[in-house]
A and B are shown apart, each in its own frame.
Chain A
Amino acid sequence: MAKKIIGTFKLQLKAGQATMAPPVGPAFGQRGLSGMEFVKQFNAKTAKDVDSIIPAVVTYYSDKSFTFILKSPPTPSLITKAINIPKGSAEPNRTKVGKIKLSQIEEIAKLKMNDLNCDTMESAISMIRGTARSMGVTVED
């Protein structure tokens, strides 16, 4: 018999650096799940992505087991990392904080493709361009 899904929750953690400190400890503990098991798996699976924030969506079941999937880092984080700026612009329409190449946008779109609500690479690229614009980052075609 398939085990019953009780619920899901989403955490955003630094790659390779998860510990039992909040939010991991309370999120798992209050549901009776083994947070240590998650910490071991998360850190092993994200060890190569140092300096990134990695979203993890955890699904937990009636038998106190859980599974989780790792998502790609948030798009603004990928953009700021790609062009080495600390953050987006306060006035994106008037003050530009950097330029990003189309090839970099395409790379981000490839990475984000599975997590974006779109069917084609063109629409993924379009979404990433939109995020870049909203951050005051100019796309160089």
Chain B
Amino acid sequence: MLKKQFVNLHLLILEEQFDLSYSVFNLFPFVGIEERIDEIVVTFNVQDYSTELNDVIINELKNIGVEASVLSVEIIDDKNWNAEWEESLEPVIVSERVAISPTWKSSEVPQEIVVLINPKMSFGTGYHPTTRMVCTLLEKTVDFGSRWIDAGTGTGVLAILAVKLGAEHCFAFDNDEWSVENSKENILINQVENQVECSQQDVFTVELPFSDGICANLYRNLLIPNFPKFYSALKRPNGVLLVSGVLKYDVEEIITAAESEHFIHIHTEIENEWAAIHFTT
């Protein structure tokens, strides 16, 4: 994988002028901003930055009355920023039958099915309620020999679990490079490489294979416009759609949108402020 690079532009700006300065930053394709004491750090993708941009930004700020100067410019190589947290991971018990564990802790887990996950900056360790809830729904819905799709696979946890629960095949994809690389590693660790196929794809452009079930731990904005695509890819009747990654406040809207695309709502699980929803075709 080609390592991405970012540029951090450190600007000296008085804190009382932070708010005003955002009308200038909005004009540029930044990735994000961190506010420090009298300092703003603007992060760009390296391809969106050139040194001329420093003067352009300073002049634009000056034009709206914000006095700013460049403190420093640093180039940052992308890496696994989550490494320290990942080292502290403990196994997550999903149910009487299923657990998710980092490889170095798997011997401590008594469950019949253990999904081994070394996350490397991808989502899906079992720590988050959305992952756990879809895992329990998968336990109830995966039939032996069925074919599944895992949309937004992250660490690959759901795809691997589907196969360990008896699915014959799972087509997994994610738009994030790190996640695809990491899920492939986890697929190998779990020895399901003959049954789980993983690739870098965007949910809006991917061609989905015909399947018995789809799990989609995504976001509301990615789920709603893709309900027709999910419906077309599922067997009818009794195809299964498990969606998650949504807040409980958005459940009603999600159910309405899915029902308008002919899905039948079966069940909603809620944990804290998160929801997972089970539909069928």
Contacts and interface: CB of A to CB of B under 8 A. Distances in A.
Interface stretch (A23-31, A101-109, A118-126): A23-31
Interface residues on B, range: 35 or more
Nearest to A13: B32
A86 B119 CA distance: 41
A19 B31 CA distance: 9
Interface in A19-61: 19-29, 32-37, 39-40, 43-45, 47-48, 50, 53, 55
Contacts of B79: 25
A10 B178 CA distance: 25
A29 to B, nearest CB: 3
Given A37-B127, A44-B219, A44-B246, A22 B8 contact: yes
Contacts of A131: 19-20
B82 A21 contact: no
B123 A39 contact: yes
B26 A87 contact: yes
B57 to A, nearest CB: 12
Contacts of B18: 74
A27 B34 contact: yes
A34 B127 contact: yes
B123 A53 contact: no
B195 to A, nearest CB: 26
A15 to B, nearest CB: 10
Interface residues on A, range: 35 or more
User: Chain B interface secondary structure, helix, strand, loop or mixed?
Assistant: mixed
A131 B4 CA distance: 38
Contact of B221 (A23, A47, A135): A47
B82 A74 contact: no
User: Chain A interface secondary structure, helix, strand, loop or mixed?
Assistant: mixed
Contacts of A77: 22-23, 26
Interface in B31-49: 31-35, 41, 43, 45
B32 A21 contact: yes
Contacts of A40: 123, 128, 130, 245
Nearest to B129: A40
B82 A29 contact: yes
A3 to B, nearest CB: 15
B127 A21 contact: no
A15 B65 CA distance: 27
Contacts of B84: 29, 32
A74 B22 contact: yes
A87 B65 contact: no
Interface in B121-156: 121-123, 125, 127-128, 130
Contact of A76 (B19, B83, B88): B19
Contacts of B78: 21, 25
30 contacts: A10-B34, A11-B32, A11-B33, A12-B33, A13-B32, A20-B81, A20-B178, A22-B31, A22-B32, A24-B32, A24-B81, A25-B79, A25-B121, A27-B34, A29-B82, A32-B85, A33-B85, A36-B82, A40-B123, A44-B274, A53-B33, A73-B22, A74-B18, A74-B20, A75-B19, A87-B24, A88-B20, A88-B23, A134-B20, A135-B64
Given A37-B127, A134-B64, 6 more contacts: A20-B121, A23-B8, A23-B34, A74-B23, A76-B20, A131-B19
Interface of B: 4, 6, 8, 18-20, 22-27, 31-35, 41, 43, 45, 60, 63-65, 76, 78-79, 81-85, 88, 119, 121-123, 125, 127-128, 130, 176, 178, 219-221, 245-247, 250, 274
